[in-house]
Amino acid sequence: MDLYSGHINKLIEELAALPGIGEKSAQRLAFYIINMPKDRVDKLSKTLMEARDKVRYCTECFTLTDQEKCPICSNPHRNHRQIMVVENSRDLAAYEKTGKYEGVYHVLHGCISPLLGIGPGDIKLKELMTRLEGDVDEVIISTNNSLEGETTAMYISKLIKPTGIRVTRIASGVPVGGDLENIDEVTLIRAFDGRTEL
């Protein structure tokens, strides 16, 4: 039985289809939007349509941008000889928040997953190899610490090593505030292997 009228149900249904939005959150958002002043709803609607129409891939690193090149790739002060490979634009944003990395990125938009039918041709690997024809000193592989992320990292490493370009993998290990007794064995081994001098 529908609790609300057709338009409200349709709005809730559309919002609930967004990732990370459950039925209750969708209801809250729907009623919030319905109660917003009309000019704010118009502005939200216009912003959504403009973002959908104007956002595209950066021609260099393939992150999302509304320019031909994203602000990172067009920044002459970044180290364009060092490329960090990430799975998606959210990973890029996470590294940028640290303020420590001064190189550029390459966004794969996924990772290799034979179980899901995602192969090397389904992510931006060909584009990465094209970029490596320029002056590149190091490729830092920063895929997730999952089976798919590790598979992708190994595949990329095997592709790049014959070129003579240095290939590194980010260290992974014990999270800050994590208790050793609650950490899985693979993470502990990676933490041990990635240890540094004090």
Which helix (H) or strand (E) segment holds residue 141: the answer is: strand 138-141
Q: Residue 100 domain-assigned?
A: yes
Q: Using an 8 Å Cβ cutoff, are 106 and 127 in contact?
A: yes
* Residue for token pair 């490329």: 83
Give the tens place of pLDDT for each residue, 50-73.
999 999 999 999 999 999 999 999
Residues 6+ apart with CB under 8 A from 86: 92, 95, 105, 106, 107, 108, 142, 143
As a whole number, mean pLDDT of residues 186-195 equals 70
* Higher pLDDT among residues 145 and 1, named by residue: 145
Q: Using an 8 Å Cβ cutoff, are 91 and 142 in contact?
A: yes
Please count the structural domains in the chain: 1
Give the tens place of pLDDT for each residue, 73-109.
999 999 999 999 999 999 999 888 888 889 999 999 9
Q: Residue 170 domain-assigned?
A: yes
- Coil, strand or helix at 113: strand
Q: What is the pLDDT of residue 177?
A: 65
Q: Residue 37 domain-assigned?
A: no
Give the tens place of pLDDT for each residue, 154-184.
999 999 999 999 999 887 766 666 665 666 7
Q: What is the pLDDT of residue 123?
A: 95
As a whole number, mean pLDDT of residues 125-130 equals 95
Q: Which domain holds residue 109?
A: 78-192
Q: What is the pLDDT of residue 1?
A: 43
Domain at 170, CATH number: 3.40.1360.10
Q: Residue 122 domain-assigned?
A: yes
**C-alpha count within 13 angstroms, C-beta hemisphere, residue 131:** 26
Give the tens place of pLDDT for each residue, 36-55.
999 999 999 999 999 999 99
